[in-house]
Copies of this chain bind each other. A is one copy, B any other.
Amino acid sequence: MKISNIPGGVTAARGFKAASCAAGIKYAGRTDMAMLFSDAPCAVAGTFTTNVVKAAPVLWDRKIVKEIGTAQAVVVNAGIANAATGETGMAMCAQTADCTARALGIPADSVLLGSTGVIGPNLPIDRICAGVTRMAASLSDTLEAGDDASRAIMTTDTVNKQCAVAFELPAANGEGAVEVRLGGMSKGSGMIHPNMCTMLGYVTTDCAIDRALLQRALSEVVPDTFNMISVDGDTSTNDTLLVLANGLAGNAPIAVAGEAYECFKAALTAVCRDLAVKMAGDGEGATHLIEMTVTGADTKENARKLAHSVIGSSLVKAMVFGKDANCGRVLCALGYAGVAFDPAVIELYLLGEKQTLCFYRDGCVQAFDEDAALQILSEKKVAFTCDMKMGDQAATAWGCDLTYDYVKINGDYRT
């Protein structure tokens, strides 16, 4: 099956509209609210933060995903997280959903919510509701509307993140092949250590798919995409990833885990990986994307742990920022991942666009050409790979370097 990148994001799939506005929540001179709307009710799947402290919109969305399983609109604000806000926070979720429902003529429990920003303060609910009314009147299915929405949900992000793909579901049941589209947007730059990460992510698709299968596909895709990135090891209170499927592609609904399901899952993986890697590369203050691939692990879970340990290491992150090929730090981070392996047999490499350097082999750090290392470490993406020589399982994790700007951004985030 061929998965093709197509322009756009959340409005790339049929029947999805978006809007955004400057509601004046926190930032001056920029938009800070976004709305998504589907012409038809959508099957919805979601994954949420594992943090014990869950923001009000996370509790709101989780209830809808678990108990209802369908939705038709999403409203997101940036600037204030609506977390650690107690009953007041939950009441504000209900108010936001109510005014959205009235404006769009849909039930309040088909409105999903997302917030990102400072933990603690209450939402300025009057401005939120005024924003909802304005956005409901300006919904558009253009790619520009989707692009604008992806900008409106940014906090410390330096670039907006969106992605869309198209693929053909194979002919089945006497029907011909059907083109299905998926698009998505996400935000996230700091407090990123998924499980979920401090991220909001929204994927829309016109695929017709059973709700339980949609949730299963998402749950299978997240461990190797969004959950394999880290900016700073901090798992946020607000992480939310939602997938909305409105069925408007007209395919025979995917109701069993067969070939069509695998096609859909491959396309969902492509969108989620693209959005996740974009978040890692736009980590707060980042100048490099770090990619760590582990091969030859005994289990998939161990491969993930080892890769995650390296991209989470402050010392590895700082060395990439400094373009310093202090490769012992990568080895050290593998060593404290909580996975048993034999240091005498593993092989560690630094991968550049045009050349590969062996850093460690036969139990010893290897001599390497410092100039070549400096050249590789000067590329925007810095990739390492390590063969554990234990089996055939592999995993890749993505992170970013630790820079002065990360400290600057987070030393004074509220002001």
Report A's interface with B, CB cutoff 8 A.
50-54, 81, 83-88, 118-121, 190-191, 193, 195, 232-237, 312-315, 318-319, 321-324, 326-329, 331-337, 339-341, 343-344, 360, 362-365, 402-404, 406-415
User: What residues on B are CB-neighbors of A237 within 8 Å?
Assistant: 328, 331-332, 335
Q: How far is the CB of A341 from chain B (nearest CB, A)?
A: 6
A328 touches B81 (CB 8 A): yes
B414 touches A324 (CB 8 A): yes
Max chain B CB contacts within 10 Å: which of A86, A190, A315? A315
A86 touches B315 (CB 8 A): no
Closest to A233 in B: B314
5 contacts between A and B (CB under 8 A): A53-B331, A191-B329, A314-B314, A323-B411, A406-B407
A87 touches B315 (CB 8 A): no
Q: How far is the CB of A276 from chain B (nearest CB, A)?
A: 19
Closest to A360 in B: B84
Q: How far is the CB of A334 from chain B (nearest CB, A)?
A: 7
User: What residues on B are CB-neighbors of A234 within 8 Å?
Assistant: 313-315, 329, 332-333, 336
Q: How far is the CA of A90 from the CA of B303 in the complex (A)?
A: 29
Q: How far is the CB of A310 from chain B (nearest CB, A)?
A: 11
User: What residues on B are CB-neighbors of A337 within 8 Å?
Assistant: 52
Other A-B pairs beyond A53-B343, A86-B364, A234-B315, 4, CB < 8 Å: A51-B336, A118-B326, A191-B315, A234-B336
User: What residues on B are CB-neighbors of A344 within 8 Å?
Assistant: 86
Taking a contact as CB atoms closer than 8 A, the residue among B54, B119, B318, B362 that contacts A407 in the complex is B318
User: What residues on B are CB-neighbors of A319 within 8 Å?
Assistant: 410-411, 413
Taking a contact as CB atoms closer than 8 A, the residue among B236, B324, B406 that contacts A412 in the complex is B324
9 tightest Cβ-Cβ pairs between the two chains A and B: A119-B328, A322-B411, A120-B365, A53-B335, A318-B410, A86-B363, A235-B336, A51-B335, A232-B314
Q: How far is the CB of A115 from chain B (nearest CB, A)?
A: 13
A410 touches B315 (CB 8 A): yes
Closest to A306 in B: B52
B118 touches A328 (CB 8 A): yes
Closest to A50 in B: B336
User: What residues on B are CB-neighbors of A362 within 8 Å?
Assistant: 86
Taking a contact as CB atoms closer than 8 A, the residue among B326, B340, B410, B414 that contacts A414 in the complex is B326
Q: How far is the CB of A232 from chain B (nearest CB, A)?
A: 4
B329 touches A119 (CB 8 A): yes
- Given the interface pairs A119-B329, A364-B85, the reply to whether A324 lies near B411 with Cβ below 8 Å is yes
Q: How far is the CA of A85 from the CA of B331 in the complex (A)?
A: 12
- Given the interface pairs A52-B341, A411-B324, the reply to whether A119 lies near B84 with Cβ below 8 Å is no
Q: How far is the CB of A243 from chain B (nearest CB, A)?
A: 24
Q: How far is the CA of A52 from the CA of B346 in the complex (A)?
A: 12
User: What residues on B are CB-neighbors of A53 within 8 Å?
Assistant: 331-332, 334-335, 343
Q: How far is the CB of A343 from chain B (nearest CB, A)?
A: 5
Closest to A327 in B: B120
User: What residues on B are CB-neighbors of A195 within 8 Å?
Assistant: 336
User: What residues on B are CB-neighbors of A406 within 8 Å?
Assistant: 314, 318, 407
Q: How far is the CA of A406 from the CA of B285 in the complex (A)?
A: 15
Closest to A341 in B: B52
User: What residues on B are CB-neighbors of A52 within 8 Å?
Assistant: 334-337, 339-341, 343
Taking a contact as CB atoms closer than 8 A, the residue among B119, B323, B336, B411 that contacts A318 in the complex is B411
B233 touches A233 (CB 8 A): yes
Taking a contact as CB atoms closer than 8 A, the residue among B87, B232, B315, B343 that contacts A84 in the complex is B343
Closest to A336 in B: B235
- Given the interface pairs A51-B336, A233-B233, the reply to whether A84 lies near B328 with Cβ below 8 Å is yes
User: What residues on B are CB-neighbors of A340 within 8 Å?
Assistant: 52
Q: How far is the CA of A379 from the CA of B126 in the complex (A)?
A: 39
Max chain B CB contacts within 10 Å: which of A191, A327, A328? A328
